[in-house]
Homo-oligomer: A and B are copies of this chain.
C-alpha cells in the first residue's frame, strides 16, 4: 500500500465518519423533537437532510476515484466497497429521519393525544442500533456488529406491537385516525432505520471477515 493510497483511504474514512456523526446526531434530534413535540427542531432536521445527500455523493465519488486510481485488492478493496454500501445506508437513514421530522410536524396538531409508550421504546432501541452499528464501523468490532443484528428482532417485535395497538385504537376512536396513522408511519420509519443499521453491521462483518453474512437468519 503506497503512502498516497493510505492518505486517500484515511480521508475517505474521515468523510464517512463525518457523515455517520451527522446522521446519528440528526436522528437523536428528530427523536427529541418527537418526544417534546418541538416543531421548530423538526423543521431544522428536515432542512439538514440535503447536506447529507450532498455528502453521500461526495463520498461515493471519492470512493470510485480511489478504486480507479489505486485498484486496491483484498481487505483494502473490501473496505472501499463497504464504504460505498454503508454510505448509501447512511443516506437512507437520513431520509427516514427527515420523514420522522415531517410526521412530527403533523403530530403537533394533536397536542392531547399521547404518543404510545411502545413507540418511545422502539425509538430508543433504533437509536442504540444506529450508534452501535457506527461504533462497530469505527472500531471494526464484529462482536458489536453481531449485537446490532440481534437487536433488529426487538425492533421488529415492537413494530408489530405498535401496529396491533394502533389497529385497536382506531377501531374505538376512528375520529383520531390521522394521529394514529402518523404513529404507524413513524413506527415504520424506525423499523426501516433499524434495517439499515443491520445492513451497516453486516457490511462491517464483511469488511473484517470477507464473508457475506446477510440473509443467514432467514
Contacts and interface: CB of A to CB of B under 8 A. Distances in A.
A64 B88 contact: no
A159 B181 CA distance: 14
Interface in A41-72: 50, 53-54, 56-57, 60-61, 64, 67-68, 71
Contacts of A54: 215
A85 B56 CA distance: 14
- How many copies of this chain does one complex carry? 2
Q: DSSP majority for the A interface?
A: helix
B53 A81 contact: no
Nearest to A214: B57
A116 interface: no
Contact-residue bracket for chain A = 20 to 34
Contact of A171 (B67, B81, B175): B175
Contacts of A177: 167, 170-171
Contacts of A181: 163, 167
Interface in A166-218: 167, 170-172, 174-175, 177-178, 181, 188, 212, 214-215, 218
Given A68-B77, A73-B68, A77-B68, A170 B170 contact: yes
Given A54-B215, A71-B73, A167-B178, 17 more contacts: A50-B218, A53-B218, A56-B215, A57-B215, A60-B212, A61-B212, A64-B78, A64-B81, A67-B67, A67-B81, A68-B73, A68-B74, A84-B84, A84-B85, A167-B177, A170-B170, A188-B188
20 contacts: A50-B215, A50-B218, A53-B218, A56-B215, A57-B212, A57-B214, A57-B215, A60-B212, A61-B212, A64-B77, A64-B78, A64-B81, A68-B73, A68-B74, A71-B73, A84-B84, A84-B85, A170-B170, A170-B174, A171-B175
